[in-house]
């Protein structure tokens, strides 16, 4: 089990030498997910040692260029490298035709299938789940339709109590039931699973709030998040500009984190007008101490980060 996040791009609309446009890679229990895909994402993946063919899900928040202009290039490279497994892309309704028109004009017939899923949830809705993870989308409040995403581990198996199992002489076949929290029946007697197990490790979740102004509409989605990424394009000095462009300041991101009791906050999408992110961090920390800044190439181990 593992839950890691790599920041591929932490910049805003205008890329700089230090910050590529928005993209993040999430590896959750061997599921490989890309969130947003600004121009140059395929190069960032390569730079940070991530195998692009592993990606099975791509979540696009909205159709401003700094969040999806890298998608045609990434898909083309997947094709050129001979991909044969499918890919699912979640995003606004126009994405499918835009993307395919860019690729098909070159005469390419993709050698793998893309399944497009239109994101249109009006509240926190599950868009994908399997045995180990669940992905949900929720609406943000930006100038155009924009969605956030929540990636969560499913409930984990109970840990086995080896000593108790040995003492009762339980067999190998009993263990899967115990791990799943199911009582055993032996010689007509019920054996409570709690006797042979310890509680499971906590299930973690990561919440991604792309471009948005602060809004009550996504509070439920971010509540108690183990880690929330929240855009913080501006510092307090430019709060008027933030309001006007439907973006957030670092303080607003921190206020949301505090209000909804998230455990850790990561801010990013810093406007290129600032030389660095020091001021953003100072302002956010003045409200919510457990804040870090997204930096291109930052790898976060969510298990280790939340294990204290």
> Which residues are catalytically annotated?
66
72 contributes a contact to a second copy by CB under 8 A: yes
For a second copy, the closer of residues 245 and 255 by Cβ is 245
Q: What minimum distance in Å lies between the beta carbon of 216 and a second copy? A: 24
166 contributes a contact to a second copy by CB under 8 A: no
Q: What minimum distance in Å lies between the beta carbon of 108 and a second copy? A: 8
Whose structure tokens read 């993040």? 24
Q: What minimum distance in Å lies between the beta carbon of 87 and a second copy? A: 16
Contacting residues for 277 by C-beta, under 8 A, at least 6 apart = 267, 270, 293, 295
Candidates 105-113, 117-125, 290-298, 300-308; binding stretch for a second copy (CB under 8 A): 105-113
What is the rounded distance in angstroms from the CA atom of residue 282 to the CA atom of residue 285? 5
Sheet with 87-91, strands from edge to edge, namely 114-118, 87-91, 57-59, 31-37, 23-28, 3-9, 299-301
Angle between helices 71-80 and 95-104 (to 10 degrees): 50
163 contributes a contact to a second copy by CB under 8 A: no
**Per-residue tokens: 101:** 């028109």
Pick from 6, 8, 10, 15 the residue near a second copy by CB under 8 A.
Answer: 15
User: Could you count the other beta carbons within 10 Å of the beta carbon of residue 252?
Assistant: 24
For a second copy, the closer of residues 74 and 281 by Cβ is 74
Pick from 106, 109, 131, 216 the residue near a second copy by CB under 8 A.
Answer: 106
Sign of CA dihedral 115, 121, 124, 125: negative
Pick from 94, 113, 129, 301 the residue near a second copy by CB under 8 A.
Answer: 94
Sign of CA dihedral 64, 68, 73, 79: negative
Provide the mask over 25-64, with x wherever binding to a second copy is found by CB under 8 A and - wherever it is not: --------------xx-xx--xx---------------xx
Site for a second copy in 186-225 (CB under 8 A): none
Q: What minimum distance in Å lies between the beta carbon of 97 and a second copy? A: 8
Q: What minimum distance in Å lies between the beta carbon of 110 and a second copy? A: 12
What is the rounded distance in angstroms from the CA atom of residue 6 to the CA atom of residue 155? 24
Task: Kindly tell me the burial class for residue 86, based on how many C-beta atoms sit within 10 Å of its own C-beta (0-12, 13-18, 19 or more).
Answer: exposed
Site for a second copy in 74-93 (CB under 8 A): 76-77, 80-81
Site for a second copy in 142-161 (CB under 8 A): 143-144
66 contributes a contact to a second copy by CB under 8 A: yes
- Gyration radius from the chain CA atoms: 22
Candidates 94-102, 125-133, 159-167, 253-261; binding stretch for a second copy (CB under 8 A): 94-102
Cα-based torsion angle of the residue sequence 117, 118, 120, 123 in order, rounded to the nearest 10 degrees? 10
For a second copy, the closer of residues 76 and 161 by Cβ is 76
Q: What minimum distance in Å lies between the beta carbon of 271 and a second copy? A: 10
Three-class secondary structure assignment of 237-281: HHHHHHHHCCCCEHHHHHHHHHHCCCCCEEEECECCCCCCCHHHH
Q: Which residues bind a second copy (CB under 8 A)?
A: 13-17, 20-21, 39-40, 42-43, 46-47, 63-66, 69-70, 72-73, 76-77, 80-81, 94, 98, 101-103, 105-107, 143-144
């Amino acid at each position: 089990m593992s839950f890691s996040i790599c920041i591929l791009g932490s910049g805003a609309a205008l890329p700089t030498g230090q910050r590529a446009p928005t993209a993040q890679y999430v590896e959750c229990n061997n599921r490989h997910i890309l969130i947003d895909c600004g121009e140059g994402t395929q190069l960032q993946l390569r730079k940070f040692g991530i195998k692009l063919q592993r990606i099975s899900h791509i979540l696009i928040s909205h159709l401003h260029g700094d969040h999806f202009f890298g998608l045609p290039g990434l898909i083309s490279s997947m094709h050129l490298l001979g991909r044969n497994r499918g890919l699912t892309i979640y995003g606004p309704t126009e994405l499918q035709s835009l993307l395919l028109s860019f690729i098909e004009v070159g005469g390419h017939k993709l050698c793998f299938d893309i399944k497009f899923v239109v994101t249109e949830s009006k509240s926190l809705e599950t868009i994908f789940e399997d045995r180990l993870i669940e992905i949900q989308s929720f609406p943000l409040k930006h100038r155009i339709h924009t969605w956030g995403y929540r990636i969560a581990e499913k409930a984990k198996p109970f840990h086995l109590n080896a000593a108790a199992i040995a003492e009762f002489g339980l067999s190998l076949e009993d263990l899967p039931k115990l791990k799943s929290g199911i009582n055993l029946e032996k010689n007509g007697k019920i054996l409570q699973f709690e006797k042979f197990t310890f509680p499971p490790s906590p299930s973690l979740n990561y919440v991604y709030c792309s471009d948005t102004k602060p809004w009550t509409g996504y509070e439920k989605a971010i509540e108690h998040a183990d880690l929330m990424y929240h855009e913080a394009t501006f510092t307090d000095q430019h709060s008027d500009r933030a309001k006007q462009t439907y973006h957030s300041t670092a303080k607003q991101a921190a206020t949301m984190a505090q209000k909804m009791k998230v455990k850790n906050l990561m801010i990013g999408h810093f406007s290129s007008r600032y030389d660095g992110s020091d001021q953003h961090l100072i302002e956010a920390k003045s409200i919510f101490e457990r804040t870090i800044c997204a930096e291109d190439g930052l790898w976060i181990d969510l298990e280790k980060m939340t294990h204290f």
